[in-house]
Chains A and B, each alone.
Chain A
Amino acid sequence: MKELALSELAATVASHLKRHGIDVVVVGGSAITAHVPDVYTSMDIDFAVTTGIDRRKISRALRDLGFHEQGRVYASPSTIYVLDFVADVPHIDQHAITEYVELQTAAGTFRVYRLEDAIADRVAAFIHWSDSESLGVAERTVKASKERTSWNRIESALSQIEILNADAVARMELAQARLRAAIENRA
């Protein structure tokens, strides 16, 4: 597994878990890496378990692939990536995400956030925690994938983010301006 890229490992793990009755979706920063590998390198793969998190069942299934629990994550000496099972139904703020895309790799397929939801997830980190790194990742993702998306789709995904105060309004305006400039080639 040492040579597997993040997406290939995600597909290997997802297919294996599926055989054990466990359905997963790749979320968080690893969803960005899955869509645009050159933009952001995540060293962990965050999975949402849409069939419900049962750590004992997950541990048993992952043992066959050489992964063992290491604190809250699963690690294997044969790969640099660690696996984390972070949620059942993934959410962007209070909004449950139930539509995913399936990505194809040499090692099989796996489900992942839609590109626009992955971007909105990064923007939410900027809105709520002033995490400028996440905004930069969202901006670079838009730049790298502008042929595959549109401003309307991004704006619609961003509308899932809860804006709770005047500061959040200001941060959202800033984020929208940067993403819009990125998709319109002005950044």
Chain B
Amino acid sequence: MEALFGSGLRTEALVAIGRLSRTYPSEIARVLGRRLNEVQRAVASLERAGAVVSKRVGGTRIVELNPRFRARDELYKLLLRMSESPAYEKYWAKLRRRPRGIGKPL
């Protein structure tokens, strides 16, 4: 399953984009324990394939599944399911993504 979407890293990056919903390359790199430049290359390749889109917001490039990709909802479901497999779940089991109020200590 690890090379289902072309290569191990491409697959991992796509599963991460599905699991995290809206994310950015440095978050994907941190979560997967990969180098930023290799994640950026994988994201660019997924973008060329039409599966994801990215846009710059301030200084950050936001990445998400392409809402105009024909099988986008089915792809999301598949990625969510894959993200629960033992190979991937360790990446997000303890990942906090809910907001924290300004002034609240970490």
**A interface list, Cβ under 8 A from B:** 43-44, 71-73, 82, 84, 86, 125, 129-134, 136, 166-167, 170-171, 174
Contact = CB atoms under 8 A, between A and B. Distances in A.
Nearest to B89: A132
B76 A170 contact: yes
A82 B105 CA distance: 9
Nearest to A133: B96
Give the size range of B's interface with the partner: 20 to 34
Lowest 10 A-B CB distances belong to which pairs? A71-B103, A72-B103, A132-B92, A131-B98, A125-B98, A131-B97, A130-B21, A129-B98, A133-B96, A166-B73
Contact of B80 (A134, A136, A174): A174
Contact of B97 (A84, A132, A167, A174): A132
A114 to B, nearest CB: 21
Contact of B104 (A84, A130, A132): A84
A136 B94 contact: yes
B95 interface: yes
A73 B105 contact: yes
A125 B101 CA distance: 14
Given A131-B97, A133-B94, 4 more contacts: A44-B104, A71-B104, A130-B20, A170-B76
